[in-house]
Amino acid sequence: MERLAKKYRNQKFKCGEDDDGFSVKLKMKYFVEYMKSSEDDSPLYIFDSSFGDHLKRKRLLEDYTAPRYFNEDLFGFTGERKRPPYRWIVMGPARSGTGIHIDPLGTSAWNALVRGHKRWCLFPTITPKDMLKAKPGEGWKNRDEAVTWFTYVYPRVKDPSWPKEYAPLEILQKPGETVFVPGGWWHVVVNLDNTIAVTQNFCSTTNFPIVWHKTVRGRPKLSKKWYRELKKSRPDLAAVADKVDLSQPTGINSDSSSSGSSSSSSDSSSDSSDSEDSRPKSKKRKRTRSLTPNGSKSRSHSRSRSQSLDRRSISSTPKNSR
C-alpha cells in the first residue's frame, strides 16, 4: 500500500458512485490513509477500470500480466476504445467488496490477489436470482452490499433446507492466489482485511459461442464491428459465430443488476431479457466527483450548471466489482 501511495499519490481512482451512478474519485494518498483507519460498515472501495487509459496510472500495467491460462482475449479485436470495460484494479479495507451478481455478456473472469484475504461464494448459473438477493428491509440502503449479503442471505444458504443443486462454492482467497469465475456464475465477495487485487473479464475460444450470443443481443453495434474484425483476423471464429442459433437460449443466466455493458435478465430464467442494452438510452453529461481530504466533494461537469445539486449518498460498491 505504501508503494502505491507514493507512486500514485496524486492520481485519482474511482472508489464509489453517487445516487445518479456518477463516479466518485479519491487521490491514492488519501485512499490509503482511509484504508488504514476506516471503521465504516460499508467502506469505500477502489474499483477502477480506466487506469489503463491514463498517462500516469497506466504504469500499473507494467506490474502484471494475465495468467497464462487466461491470456486469450477475443474482445481485443474490437479495439480498446470500443470494447466493454474488462480490467480493474480493486483495493479496499475490511468489509468492502461486492454484492451478488453475474459478470456481463457471459464473460469469464480471473481475480489475482496481491495483498489481504477475500471471502467468496459462487453459485451455479441455474440458481434463481430471488433466492440470492437480500429481501426488502434487509440492510436498508446497503441492501446490495457484500456485508449485507453475508449477514442476511448467507445464513439461509447454509440452512439444511437450501436446495443441494444450488449449493455454493466457497473460497478463502489468500495473497498470491488467483480465482477463476466461470461465465454465468453468481458470485459475492467480501474483503476480510486490507486487500489489493487485479481482475479481468475475458472471452476465449471456449466461451465464445455464449459471449457472441449475448453480445449480439445486448450490444448489437459492438457485435457488428467484432464480426468484421474476426472475419479478417479469425475467420474460424467468424464461422462459429455464423452457426450460433440466436433464437435459442444459451443456458447461461444474466443479471439485471449488471453494469451498462452487460446483457441482463429480469428473472431467473436464462436469457429472458438479453437485449437490455439495445434499448434507447438518454444521453448524460459526463460528470465525476472527487473527495477532498476532509471528505467534502468537489464536482466537475462537462458544462457548468447554475442550479445547486442536492446532496447525494455515495455507494461504495460499483456493480460488478470484486
pLDDT tens-place string over residues 102-150: 999 999 999 999 999 999 999 999 999 999 999 998 988 788 899 999 9
The total number of residues shown for the chain amounts to 322
CA atoms within 13 A on the CB side of 152: 20
CB contact set of 190 (below 8 Å; sequence gap of 6+): 95, 96, 97, 118, 119, 146, 147, 149, 150
Write down the mean pLDDT value for the chain. 82
pLDDT at 178 over 90: yes
Q: What is the pLDDT of residue 267?
A: 35
Cα 276 from chain centre: 17
Please, what's the b/e burial string for 44-78 (b: 16 or more CB within 10 A of its CB; e: otherwise)?
bbbbbbbbbeeeebeebeeeeebeeebeebbbebb
Residue 153 has pLDDT above 80, yes or no: yes
Q: pLDDT tens across 300-313, in order?
A: 444 433 343 344 45
Q: Quote the pLDDT of residue 57.
A: 85
Burial of 147 (0-12, 13-18, 19+ CB in 10 A): buried
pLDDT over threshold 80, residue 86? yes
Output the pLDDT for position 144. 87
CA distance 98 to 75: 24
Identify the residue with better confidence: 130 or 56: 130
By the 8 A CB rule, do 215 and 223 touch? Answer: yes
Residue 319 in this model has a pLDDT that exceeds 80: no
Residue 287 clears pLDDT 60, i.e. is over it: no
Lowest mean pLDDT among 37-41, 76-80, 121-125, 296-300: 296-300
DSSP state of 134: P
Q: Which residue has the cell 474499483?
A: 47
CB proximity list for 62: less than 8 A, separation 6 or greater: none
Q: Which has more pLDDT, 202 or 316?
A: 202
pLDDT at 231 over 80: yes
Helix (H) or strand (E) holding 92: strand 87-92
Write down the pLDDT at residue 293.
42
pLDDT tens digits, one per residue of 159-175: 999 999 999 999 999 99
pTM (two decimals) = 0.79
Please give the backbone phi and psi of residue 132, each rounded to the nearest 5 degrees, phi first.
-100, -15
Q: How far apart are CA 179 and CA 120, in angstroms?
A: 9
Tell me the pLDDT band of 318, cut-offs 50, 70 and 90.
Answer: low
| Res 233 pLDDT > 60 | yes
User: Quick one: pLDDT band at residue 9, thresholds 50, 70, 90?
Assistant: confident
User: How much of the chain exceeds pLDDT 70, in percent?
Assistant: 79
Model pLDDT, residue 297: 47
Whole-number pLDDT of residue 314 = 55
What residue type is assigned to position 192 of the chain?
A: L
